[in-house]
Structure 1
């Protein structure tokens, strides 16, 4: 019973194959068992979509240790643990000479890319997931694994009633925040048609865009000598003035 089984029932009713797993994805052994369940059921693992998460929103100055730890654990470790066990499977196949074509789709967030007031724990975890995506893509491409991330803006069980409400959708109108608007991107990124890796894509109703991450900004140099403390301010501001302005943090005044 529960949401996972409801999805399984929908897939089975549509003629597909599916099984439910209610493991704690941030538990190392349970994550391993989940991956093994898929391999034992279908004989091979082709893709992994990491999407577990929840919110414990609070301003950083008032946030408890548990509110920080629990969110970072589920989001960040909950992405790494299943992927770590999946790569063991793919690496072994690749070393045996098999042409592995595997895919991982991680879930970041606009909060992680731009920041979000009152969501410091969530934003930090989601930013880390975006970087984890780049790291995995760089290290695991040699084994035939492509890794990308999505930063969806949609109504889910996590956001329903907090940011969006299905009651706000007018009958007959395009439901901009419906999760179905993001699903096609996930399907493509998880398929053999996907030919990109190490990128994060924002997606919402009827649109998507790739996100540019950290890049080296304009360099200010004093030549072949040590910079003095007195010079730092001018150099810092010259570099900032020459760089594109940063995006605003969500919710910032």
Structure 2
């Protein structure tokens, strides 16, 4: 592969955080209309009516959501290369990032399948639609813990990097940790059907989705800026001695 082709691929992957979040929000929020979300306290008949009235929109939106899940793969690949550069060779943080990225693809992909199954036969029992809807929401929002190694791997690498021109400055490591802690309240959604901690509440969806998307945007911006400075993942960093 030529040098120019490799650089173009790397730049495309660095933009992956924006591709991922953009396609995800297009399908999930705009086309399917799942943002703002319906309330978990809604009745069986209310949830069934949503699927019966928006069958096509939900189906199309979930196809986009599955495509968006795939966009996390090139983003994870380039991030893992940068983490390996910081570690000197692929190490614990690199493999944690890779596994976290793979898990995040699953986290995004399978709720789309559950929503598609619910919309595939809208005439089926409302109780089954109700269960599939709960299943999808609880995995997509409440399953965020499976994504944490991706975010924490980047944060720790940023705080440990001793290169003269770091891709991820120390402040970005602290920012990633701050965004991580903003995700934690969404684990309470399993205990509430209404209020700020339910999956439709402030701490159940709005803050977690904002911090989740904010981390992808931050990480992509830092990698793109690094490439503009000529700092590519396959170049050896100049390390500060000591």
State if a TM-score over 0.5 links the two structures: no
Structure with the higher strand share, 1 or 2: 1
The structure that is helix-richer by fraction is: 2
TM-score, structure 2 normalization? 0.28
For CA contacts below 8 A with separation 6 or more, give which structure has more relative contact order.
Answer: 2
